[in-house]
Amino acid sequence: MDVANRIVALVEEKQAEDILLLDLRPVSIIADYFLILTVDSERQGDAIVEWISKTLKRENRILPLHVEGTAGGGWVLMDYGDVIVHIMTPDRRSFYQLEEIWKQAPVVLRIQ
């Protein structure tokens, strides 16, 4: 939970919107938490990906296990093992509706 909370703080610093942290433990074994957030632009998405990566590496010596997608494509997934971060543009978030797919997962926090 410490990593998830730290990532929430980092994305808040970079003014991400509609931040949602879901607890997947009761419903899935793929991860403990999903963090879903919205960015307004490719530039903001790239900045958030870089900020998370550099800060967690510097502070905790943690690197993502995998990064998939691009901010230009509207969705970046950062896999930190227990925490999976979904950085999405409004149109991708609306289209894929991850909140609906994972609606059985308890909401840990939502910042709008």
Q: Which CATH class for the 2-111 domain?
A: alpha beta
Give the pTM: 0.95
Do 74 and 93 contact (CB within 8 A), yes or no? no
Q: 17-60: per-residue pLDDT in tens?
A: 999 999 999 999 999 999 999 999 999 999 999 999 999 999 99
Average pLDDT score, the chain? 96
Provide the pLDDT confidence category of residue 1 given band limits of 50, 70 and 90. Answer: confident
Which pLDDT score is estimated for 108?
97
Do 87 and 45 contact (CB within 8 A), yes or no? yes
Please report, for the chain, the start and end positions of each structural domain, with discontinuous segments joined by +.
2-111
Q: Which two tokens stand for residue 106?
A: 């308890």
Interval 69-81 mean pLDDT: 95
Do 52 and 11 contact (CB within 8 A), yes or no? yes
Interval 4-13 mean pLDDT: 96
